[in-house]
Amino acid sequence: MATGHEQWLEQGDIYALGALDGQEMKDFEAHLASGCAICEAYIREIRESLLLLHRAITPFEPSSAAKSLIFDQIAGDKKFVPIAAVQSKRTGIWQRMVGTIAAGIVGVVITAAYYHYRYEPRHSVYSAVIDLLRDPNTRDVALYGAGPTPAALGRCLWNKSGEGHLFVTNLPAAPEGKMYAVWTIAQESSPRYVASIRTDAKGLGGVHINAAQSDKPIQTFAVTLEPVGTTAAPTGPMVLVSKQS
Amino acid sequence: MSAQSISSGYLVQQVAQQDREAFSQLYDRCSSLVFSLAMRMLRVRSDAEDLLQEVFVQIWRQASNYSAERGTPEAWIVNIARSRAIDKLRSIRRMEQSFVLTDDPARAESSDNVETSAAESEAKMAMSSALVNLPEAQRRVLELAYFDGLTQTEIAARLKEPLGTVKTRMRSGIQRLREIMKMQAA
């Protein structure tokens, strides 16, 4: 270790932790930008050590749908070879027959896949709602229209585990660029975003909620109209709210 | 370097070549690590799943930026996840300062959860024999920084401790972790 480098290394500890701030942060980043190999190697080592802190966290598994969503999102990144381009090279009756049979099989597979993806999630939701209704720890909370939507109504099945399902009626579809955000509010706590909900042309909608379990009982459920992507804290008008329980 | 990390490094190299099978294997190997961290930091499942998605899409698109010289793939992935989670947490804190629905803004939910989660984590950490000797005060500042994304100044304010004390505890805690890491590697 280079002599006179101790001060930088001390700051490197806190930098690797992500806690350095203010002028110290600016100075240290300038030092790193100057190409200090000692500090770079040191920070790398500290970051590896910090992985030990992961032993302290409760393990959670993401839902099975999460992987599919990621693969859907990266699908546009892969090089795509159109099937038609491949098929156009095939000539002759046998090849056409093979093509027809293959197309039939593909059609059946696509149809089966369509029904699977179209209806399977819905069945899963129905099952989850039934499970909620069976659970004695599930509350049934009424929500009432507020602000710009006094005629709206809602009903939230809520389990203290953090799982719930919200049904709404008479809530007009959110305007372009807006969404309805669902919040739970525990005693003396700020609202916590738990889901967004869409409604159809008839004003009907529903969403299944899987939030982390709250330490304190949830007192209030609210729905606000927000710009798309707002999840940190409510900023828009409240359209549905429960009475405090 | 363990076989596990070599193997993950190879997967990242393959992902850089847009190999979806390698990406799938990397996801299976690291998604729990990322998701558990996201749940610990963000606490809302839907937010944690959003973060998981963002992290893995970034890995897919930027795997070529990874270099084994810059650490293990796990540390690289965790660093991506933490950076994104900290951005979100800091954004939430900024929004909470102007939040209108709570009766007592001084008792923001995140603050309560920090205490609760810290207690929970301390209990979990106590179960980890490798970390059992880390003093509570050191563990606390490390957790507030690592999992809650607080800076040294924010931690000093939160704990009502002098900044110098917080820095000392952080550095002592980190050095202890470093020693444990070295002992495990030996």
Using an 8 Å CB-CB cutoff, list chain A residues near B91.
232
Tell me the pTM: 0.54
User: What CATH fold (topology level) applies to the domain A138-242?
Assistant: Immunoglobulin-like (2.60.40)
Q: What is the CB neighbour count within 10 angstroms for residue B70?
A: 16
pLDDT in tens, chain A (245 residues): 445 688 899 999 999 999 999 999 999 999 999 989 899 999 999 988 888 888 778 889 998 889 998 998 888 664 433 333 333 444 455 566 666 777 777 776 666 666 555 555 556 667 778 888 888 888 889 999 888 888 899 999 998 888 888 999 999 988 888 899 999 988 778 888 888 898 888 888 888 888 887 778 888 899 999 988 888 888 888 899 887 54
**Test mutation, A11, A32, A57, A71, chain B, max B CBs within 10 A:** A57
Using an 8 Å CB-CB cutoff, list chain A residues near B22.
none
Distance from CA of B163 to the nearest CA of A (A): 11
pLDDT > 90 in chain B, percent: 51
Using an 8 Å CB-CB cutoff, list chain B residues near A66.
31, 35, 49, 52-53
- Which H or E run includes B115? helix B109-127
Domain definitions of chain A by residue range: 6-56, 88-134, 138-242
User: Could you report the per-residue pLDDT of B151-171, keeping only the tens digit for each?
Assistant: 999 999 999 999 999 999 999
User: Could you report the per-residue pLDDT of B91-103, keeping only the tens digit for each?
Assistant: 777 766 554 444 3
Who's near A231: CB < 8 A, 6+ residues apart? A181, A193, B47
Candidates A48, A62, A67; nearest CB to B72: A48
User: Could you report the per-residue pLDDT of A188-217, keeping only the tens digit for each?
Assistant: 788 888 888 988 888 888 888 888 877 788
Residue spans in chain B of domains classed CATH 1.10.10.10: 103-186
Q: What is the CATH number of domain B1-98?
A: 1.10.1740.10
CA–CA separation, B32 and B34 (whole Å): 5
Using an 8 Å CB-CB cutoff, list chain A residues near B77.
none
Q: What is the CATH number of domain B103-186?
A: 1.10.10.10
**Test mutation, B19, B54, B109, chain A, max A CBs within 10 A:** B109
Q: Please give the C-alpha separations between residue A88 and each of A83, A98, B167, in angstroms, as whole numbers.
A: 9, 13, 69
Taking CB atoms and an 8 Å limit, are A17 and B32 in contact across chains? no
